[in-house]
Chains A and B, each alone.
Chain A
Amino acid sequence: GQNIDQPTEMTATEGAIVQINCTYQTSGFNGLFWYQQHAGEAPTFLSYNVLDGLEEKGRFSSFLSRSKGYSYLLLKELQMKDSASYLCAVRDGNYQLIWGAGTKLIIKP
């Protein structure tokens, strides 16, 4: 079967750096997405990786290794507003999105 694994919850300190990992096993691969979801709100798009390597966008970076079935989202200079759930999703060979359960990130002062 297809599955996406990511930690359920992580805690980090304001101003620090945190890395959220995502491993996947899918039938085919056509890209990996990261979304941010604040409690009670809709998910919003953060990043998209289809080739191996690092994509940087401001304080957020996303890395992909297709051979390892692995991605991470790196958040730098953490702010309290970064407290949210981070969802990893993979588009499989049939262009269907498979979603992880999300990682709840708690930022402490």
Chain B
Amino acid sequence: IAGITQAPTSQILAAGRRMTLRCTQDMRHNAMYWYRQDLGLGLRLIHYSNTAGTTGKGEVPDGYSVSRANTDDFPLTLASAVPSQTSVYFCASSEEEGESGELFFGEGSRLTVL
């Protein structure tokens, strides 16, 4: 593994189903993030984690939950998917907030909720 790995790459899901998007990084970064990207809109932050064991809500957290049991993994769960959650989801990580804070992104997970 090099960088950030997301799974699945793509998924079609029936409304009401539960779905977990997986994210794993091997860079030992403290901070991790989940974004959604929709056409015509900027990336929107769903949840973030500044370090293992802590999480926080971003701009659009409703309908999503996260956990950060260790440094490497940061899964995103949709408890009961709805069509408005159709989007491309990006997981990202960064070393420190104080420096440039460059984000490293995974390749994305394209989710379609029918």
Q: A residues touching B (Cβ–Cβ < 8 Å)?
A: 4, 31, 33, 35, 41-45, 48, 87, 89, 91, 95-102
Contact = CB atoms under 8 A, between A and B. Distances in A.
Given A42-B90, A42-B108, A43-B90, A31 B42 contact: no
The 4 closest A-B pairs by CB, nearest first: A99-B42, A42-B105, A99-B43, A48-B100
Given A31-B100, A48-B100, A91-B101, A42 B42 contact: no
Given A48-B100, A95-B97, A43 B105 contact: yes
A33 B100 CA distance: 9
B42 A41 contact: no
> Main SS of the interface on chain A?
strand
Given A48-B102, A95-B97, A41 B107 contact: yes
Interface residues of B, number: 17
Which residue, B43, B102, B106, has most C-beta atoms of chain A within 10 A? B43
Contacts of B40: 101
Nearest to B4: A42
A18 B43 CA distance: 24
Given A33-B103, A101-B41, 13 more contacts: A42-B90, A42-B107, A43-B43, A43-B103, A45-B103, A45-B104, A48-B102, A87-B43, A89-B43, A96-B45, A97-B43, A97-B103, A98-B42
